[in-house]
Structure 1
Amino acid sequence: MNLRFVEAYYWAVSLKSVTRAAEKLFITQSALSARIAALEEELGVMLLDRRDKQFRVTVVGTRFYNYAQRLLELQRQIKAEMGSDQLRASMLRIGAIESVVHSWLGDWLQQMRADQPGFELELTVETTPLLTEHVRRGTLDLVFAALPSSGEGVRTRALAPMEMVFVGHALLHPRKRYSLADLARFDLLTFQRGSQPHLALLDAFRQEGVEPPRVHAISSISAMVQLVEGGFGIATLPRLVAERMAQRQPVRVLNTVALLAPLPLHVSYRDDPTSTVTLAALEAAAAFAGLRKRASSKKSIS
């Protein structure tokens, strides 16, 4: 039995789409369909119901799906034990929100490259709603977003949240401490309208009974920092991002009376019975995000 044919069938059923399975395996849709057809011919049964355009798995196809997962897991275990899989290149399609990209993603990827020499990256930077949809549809393997994804076969794990701070121009905002009433005199910049940071900012003002100022929704962290640098206003950013930006640009974290709600962070992924790279990346990212949070907390205390 050709395990490439088994793999094609496994992903078609997991993603409920021949098209998305073909994208996952980097082959054409016709090639994937041919592999499944060859597998059906070898087994002498129909695994997929092709009587209309709806994707349907037959009763025997459902039974074989469980065998397919076990076969692929066994193949992975054999390769790992025999050492034949150690240097094989493994493509991992990662998605991340900008807050992760501008904080610890680069350092984590350097560590991944050292621990997984065969690791190859395909990175997508998008907003949380798009990233969670990508992993649900199977077009991304692992995503770091502010909300967990959902769907059959999708797993989610909470990571260390990111502390949010107010960031101003180093010369234009020199005060040692700012109240919300002080901040209300400036234009404020935050993430997309309706996002967690946007809602948390408005909520902070409501709780203090302060009329919110003009709040501008900006989809790019780089654009936000450039606007702050140009004197346009004060931004809300993750502390890790702000500290990195302050090393290269005239911006500073402002000491404020009111605290912003932290930005939640979740990693969502699909189990891959053919590879250990996804789970290895998940564990490394969880540890890395935790280390960066503790380092940032120590700086803020000191």
Structure 2
Amino acid sequence: MNLRFVEAFYWVASLKSISRAAEKLYLTQSAMSSRIATLEEELGILLLDRRDKQFKLTVAGARFLVYAQKLLELQREVKAEMGSGQAMAMSMRIGAIESVLHSWLIPWLEKLRADYPALELELTVETTPILIDQIQRGTLDLVFAVLPASGEGVRTQALPPMDMAFVGHPDLHKKRNYRLDQLAGMELLTFQKGSQPHVTLLDLFRQHRMEPKKVHAISSISAMVQLVQGGFGVAMLPRAAVERLTGFTRLKLLTCDARLQSLPINASYRTDPSSRTVETVVQSAIAFAGGRNNEPKKRPKVNP
């Protein structure tokens, strides 16, 4: 039995789509359909119910899916046991929100490449809803987003949340400390409407019975930073991203008397019975992000 054909069936069944499975395995749809048809011919049974436009496994297909997973797991164990000790080949499709990109993602990827020189990477930067849709569809292997993804074959692990902070221009925002009512009188910038930072910022003012002057919804951290530099207003951003960006541009973390809610980060990924690559990468990310989270916090620069 050709295990490549078994793998093809496993991903078709897991992703509930021949086209998505073909994209996952870098095959054409016709090649994927051919592999499934050949496997069915060898087994002497139909694995897919083709009578309906809606994807459905036959009873035999559902039974064989259990064996397909076991076969792929056994293949993985044999390769690990009989391997030559060569560097593990790693091909990963990773997605992340901008907050992760501008904080620890780049140094983590540099460490990952140093640990696994055979790493081949596809990186996507998108909003949480898009990333969740892509991991559920199987077009990404691993995503770092605010919300956890769900679905068959998808697992999630929580990473350390990100502290949020107000950031301004050092020449315009010179006070040592700011009260929330003072910030309410300024033009504020945060992420797109409906996002966790946008919602929690508005809730913060409601809890203190305040109405902010203006809250601008900006989907890009780079755009927010440029607007702050241009004197447009004060942005609410992840502290780690601001500390990293201060190496490239002039920003000032503003001390405020109100506590901001942290930004949750979740690593969602698809399990693969034929490889431990994704789990290895996830554990690397958790260790790296956790280590950075335990580093002493930098004190914000204070202008008199």
TM-score for both structures, normalised by structure 2: 0.96
Q: RMSD of the TM alignment (CA)?
A: 1.5
> Alignment partner of 2:265: what SS?
strand
- Could you tell me which residue of structure 1 aligns to residue 186 of structure 2? 186
In 1, Cα distance between the equivalents of 2:11 and 2:115?
A: 27
Question: Does 2:15 correspond to 1:15?
Answer: yes
The letter for the 2-side match of 1:193 is K
Q: Give the aligned residue type for 1:213.
A: K
SS of the residue 1:264 aligns to:
strand
Offset from partner CA, 1:223-265 (integer Å, 9 cap, x none): 0000000000000000000111112211111111111100011
Cα distance in 1 for partners of 2:40, 2:114 equals 41
The correspondence of residues 100-249 of structure 1 with structure 2, limited to 5 A, is: 100-249=100-249
1:206 CA displacement = 1.4
CA contact (8 A) 1:184 1:213 kept: yes
Distance in 2 between residues matched to 1:28 and 1:115, nearest whole Å: 33
Which residue of structure 1 lines up, in the alignment, with residue 34 of structure 2?
A: 34
Aligned twin of 2:279: 279
- C-alpha displacement at 1:62, in angstroms? 0.8
**Pair 1:63-2:59 in alignment:** no
Code of the residue aligned with 1:3 in structure 2: it is L
2:88–2:116 Cα contact (<8 Å) kept: no
Tell me how many residue pairs correspond in the alignment: 301
The residue that corresponds to 1:46 in the other structure is 46
CA deviations on 1:132-158 (whole Å, 9 max, x unpaired) are: 111111111100000011112211111
Q: For residue 297 of structure 2, what is the amino acid of its counterpart?
A: K
Counterpart CA distance in 1 for 2:14 and 2:55 is 11
User: Which whole-Å CA distance do the structure 2 matches of 1:300 and 1:131 have between them?
Assistant: 33
3-state SS, counterpart of residue 122 of structure 1: strand
Deviation at 1:88, TM superposition (A): 5.4
Gaps of 5+ in 1: none
**Ranges in structure 2 where 5+ consecutive residues have no aligned partner:** none
Aligned to 2:298: 299
Give aligned-pair identity as a percent.
Answer: 62
Q: What code does the residue aligned with 1:153 have?
A: G
SS of corresponding position for 2:167: strand
Query: In the aligned structure 2, how far is the partner of 1:219 from the partner of 1:298?
Result: 26
**1:227–1:233 Cα contact (<8 Å) kept:** yes
Using a 3 Å threshold, how does the CA distance of structure 1 residues 272 and 86 change in structure 2: closer, same or farther? farther
* TM-aligned CA deviation for residue 210 of structure 1: 1.9
